[in-house]
Structure 1
């Protein structure tokens, strides 16, 4: 029997398709944005079905059909932060992971590729490009140091992000870090 994926939209959006494992799935491009002070620009969000639970994560999102990983990373960076960069401004990929998480009452799998962008300290992000859906689940953006990430009480994804930020702030050595599978529960 051949598996025929369900391509019907879920609450997650049309880019999430039902995979062979029965989970909603998509590929995503993410950006670890660092400033000259070694801080990472992160987004804080929550799940509409669990508004009391909140977490920090990197800028990024789904890769559209026909879009390269780099094109998706640059588009997501522009849409989510207002920062307009070119492909020469991205380094990497510097990291990958398969994130398994619960969102909008569904268990999802997102295969992620991460790039690095360095921008001057004092650059302020802009949320004008957020969609209505993003506005309903995103709470804000902030520049955080690895120490601040470790000290604050919210979850951080990927979990290794404080260590990754420290490592990348010191200079990327060309090694792609493969985090493997990471589950939010």
Structure 2
């Protein structure tokens, strides 16, 4: 982890049909710049990554009936967003839910300005997508997860700098 990087917990949320939930985001100053990403966000003071993962998931999606599993992947990334550069140390947790209805009332002001919706994706749909998805290898990572199960220890993904 780079010194000073924001600690982030993300959730790879799967429903009973092994679909993954992604949010559709955009750059507030350029709504034509869009991408899909997993729920999650930065840790608050005194919060563990597991607590942050569950809180962020509830705020962003309204989903609270979740079985949080192991850390699947870790990633360092750096990207411009909303007028600043974000340097993040992200941990991706596996989670399962039977609750597929989403509710976005808990989103922050920034999320309301930069998220257009949510969608459940099958592995096949994600593999065929031509839109930007973060992390960039998510389709391949999801297929491996579904075929082989969670890794014995977290896989460290290549650093992504946008």
- Using the size of structure 1 for normalisation, the TM-score is 0.80
Say whether 1:29 aligns with 2:9: yes
Say whether 1:164 aligns with 2:144: no
The equivalences for 1:134-173 within 5 A come to 134-170=111-147, 171-173=149-151
Number of residue pairs matched by the alignment: 160
Q: Provide the C-alpha distance between the structure 2 equivalents of 1:74 and 1:141, rounded to a whole number of angstroms.
A: 17
Q: Give the SS at the match of 1:180.
A: coil
Native 8 Å contact 2:127 2:140 kept in 1? no
Q: Which residue of 1 aligns with 2:90?
A: 112
Structure with greater contact order relative to length (CA < 8 Å, sep ≥ 6): 2
Q: Which residue of 2 aligns with 1:176?
A: 154
User: CA separation of 1:25/1:51 partners in 2, compared to 1, >3 Å: closer, same or farther?
Assistant: farther
Q: Which residue of 2 aligns with 1:78?
A: 58
Say whether 1:125 aligns with 2:92: no
Q: Provide the C-alpha distance between the structure 2 equivalents of 1:172 and 1:27, rounded to a whole number of angstroms.
A: 22
Q: Give the SS at the match of 2:47.
A: coil
Native 8 Å contact 1:38 1:166 kept in 2? no
Q: Provide the C-alpha distance between the structure 1 equivalents of 2:22 and 2:104, rounded to a whole number of angstroms.
A: 12
Q: Which residue of 1 aligns with 2:46?
A: 66
Native 8 Å contact 1:56 1:154 kept in 2? yes
- Using the size of structure 2 for normalisation, the TM-score is 0.90
Q: Once structures 1 and 2 are overlaid, which stretch shifts more, 57-66 or 174-183? A: 174-183
Measured against aligned partners, the alpha-carbon deviations of 1:90-143 in whole angstroms (never above 9, x if no partner) come to 1111110011111113222111011011123x7111111112221110010000
Q: Provide the C-alpha distance between the structure 2 equivalents of 1:67 and 1:169, rounded to a whole number of angstroms.
A: 30
- Unaligned segments of structure 2, at least 5 residues: none
Root mean square deviation, CA, Å: 1.8
